[in-house]
Amino acid sequence: MVTGTSGPEWGRLSAEIRGCTLCELHRTRTQAVVYRGGSSPRVVFVGEAPGAEEDRRGEPFVGRSGRRLDEGIAQVGLGPSDFGIVNVLKCRPPKNVFSPTSAVTCHPYLDRQLALLQPDLVVPLGAHALRSLDPAASRITDVAGAPRTAGRWTLFPMLHPAATFRSRQNLARWEHDLLALRSILGGG
Ligand code: URA
């Protein structure tokens, strides 16, 4: 098996995701959103679901939350080839309401993406991403900012970047957890 995004397995998986009709979300999507990032990333960030901008452009985290995430990624010292971004749901849910049922259907895609990417660290962003990767985890605010093991992955949960626009407290927590992530990644 060729790991990363350069082998035929990744191409086949991406095509499968783009053509997926396994749940009702395919009826309302413009396009499925697969991946943005390097071909062999050290760190994979996992969001919840594409929003309107992502649905239109076909890439994860390209709206306001994406700008916050990209700033954070630069702050922790990761370069363009060091990170990757995926979502739990590959298709935008109507009104941006996360669908736990679709998340169950979609989960094998996330598993297969991670198995091919083989990152050193997986960063679930927000409660839904955390639950998808670690169903036993407690609240995101209890566990954000500290590494934990879930199956074969080391997770470093963080708040969803959208939460940083909701309160100054969330923004402070986000910045604090970025410093912890930076030091875990060896950036001091
Ligand atoms: N929020 C997410 O969780 N994912 C995206 O791709 C965009 C916004």
**Percentage of the chain lying above the pLDDT 70 cut:** 99
Query: Domain 8-184 sits in which CATH superfamily?
Result: Uracil-DNA glycosylase-like domain (3.40.470.10)
What are the structure tokens assigned to 175, written together? 């910045």
Return the higher-pLDDT residue of 2 and 101. 101
Residue of 53, 57, 65 with the most ligand 1 atoms within 8 Å of its CB, for mutation:
65
Instruction: Choose among 26, 25, 177: nearest CA to 99.
Output: 25
Ligand 1 closest atom vs CA 126: 3
pLDDT score at 58: 98
CA distance 110 to 123: 13
Instruction: Choose among 54, 118, 64: nearest CA to 89.
Output: 54
Break the chain into its structural domains and give their ranges. Answer: 8-184
CA distance 132 to 27: 23
CB 33 within 8 Å of CB 87: yes
Task: Quote the ligand 1 centre to 12 CA distance (angstroms).
Answer: 23
Task: Please state the rounded mean pLDDT for residues 69-84.
Answer: 98
pLDDT in tens, 121-162: 999 999 999 999 999 999 999 999 999 999 999 999 999 999
Task: Quote the ligand 1 centre to 124 CA distance (angstroms).
Answer: 11
187 pLDDT tier (thresholds 50, 70, 90): confident
pLDDT score at 1: 77
Instruction: Read off the pTM.
Output: 0.98
pLDDT in tens, 60-76: 999 999 999 999 999 99
Task: Quote the ligand 1 centre to 186 CA distance (angstroms).
Answer: 27
Residue-averaged pLDDT of the chain:
97
What are the structure tokens assigned to 181, written together? 């992530």
Residues linked to residue 122 through DSSP beta bridges, in sequence order: 44, 155
Nearest CA to ligand 1 atom 7: 61
* Per-residue 3-state assignment (H helix, E strand, C coil) for the chain: CCCCCCCHHHHHHHHHHHCCCCCHHHHCCCCCCCCEECCCCCEEEEECCCCHHHHHHCCCCCCHHHHHHHHHHHHCCCCCCCEEEEECCCCCCHHHCCCHHHHHHHHHHHHHHHHHHCCCEEEEECHHHHHHHCCCCCCHHHHCCCCEEECCEEECCECCHHHHHCCHHHHHHHHHHHHHHHHHCCCC
